[in-house]
Chains A and B, each alone.
Chain A
Amino acid sequence: DIQMTQSPSSLSASVGDRVTITCRASENIKKYLNWYQQKLGKAPNLLIYGASSLQTGVPSRFSASGSGTDFTLTISGLQPEDFATYYCQQSYTIPTFGQGTRLEIK
């Protein structure tokens, strides 16, 4: 299985900050990388697919990039509703998720 490693595992930030979360794949996954947001007690929500394409309805403060093994998710101008856990997922082979990055209010 392809291993997905996110960093950091947790992150504290303030409203208005710009934050970046990194996801690294154990082998080349081209651009088959998605990002999900999960709020406490809720199902995950697709933010980004194909490494950099914004899912319909997702605010433009979310952006992502990368290919191969290294990927990033950036949130520019954090809003209160953005404090959640973020997961990357590769779908180049049998899908696997990263362990998650918990974004907390500072």
Chain B
Amino acid sequence: QVSLVQSGAELKKPGASVRVSCKASGYTFSNYGVAWVRQAPGQGLEWMGFISAYSGATEFAQKFQGRLTMTTDSSTGAAYMELRNLRSDDTALYYCARRTTFLGENLDYWGQGTLVTVSS
């Protein structure tokens, strides 16, 4: 069965960076992309970007350009999201999701979420 397991909660200071991992299993990793979506406390969903596990191509939402990196490791079936220069409003639950592209982008399996807290 398809599963996405994310790394544990992180506490970071403003200006620091965070790297969240997402370990996929139960499917051929390179056949799909991985998208990252975040959710601030009590707020809605915010799409951050995605990476193709096949080509490594990425696409990011405008607001994260310049401080967001996404990578994959096909040998382990893992995806990584790194956000730099953290601010307090980056405090959120960060989700990875398997991305398919049938009739547009669909996020059909999700990780459990990783809480990132940014506080001095």
Contact = CB atoms under 8 A, between A and B. Distances in A.
A46 interface: yes
B105 interface: yes
Interface in B29-47: 35, 37, 44-47
B104 A34 contact: yes
A100 B46 CA distance: 11
Interface stretch (A17-25, A69-77, A86-94): A86-94
A16 interface: no
B114 to A, nearest CB: 11
Give the size category of B's interface with A.
20 to 34
B110 A99 contact: no
A94 B59 contact: yes
A3 interface: no
Contacts of B105: 32, 34, 89, 91, 95
A49 B113 CA distance: 22
Interface of B: 35, 37, 44-47, 59, 61-62, 95, 97, 102-108, 110-113
7 contacts: A1-B61, A1-B62, A43-B95, A89-B45, A89-B107, A91-B104, A92-B104
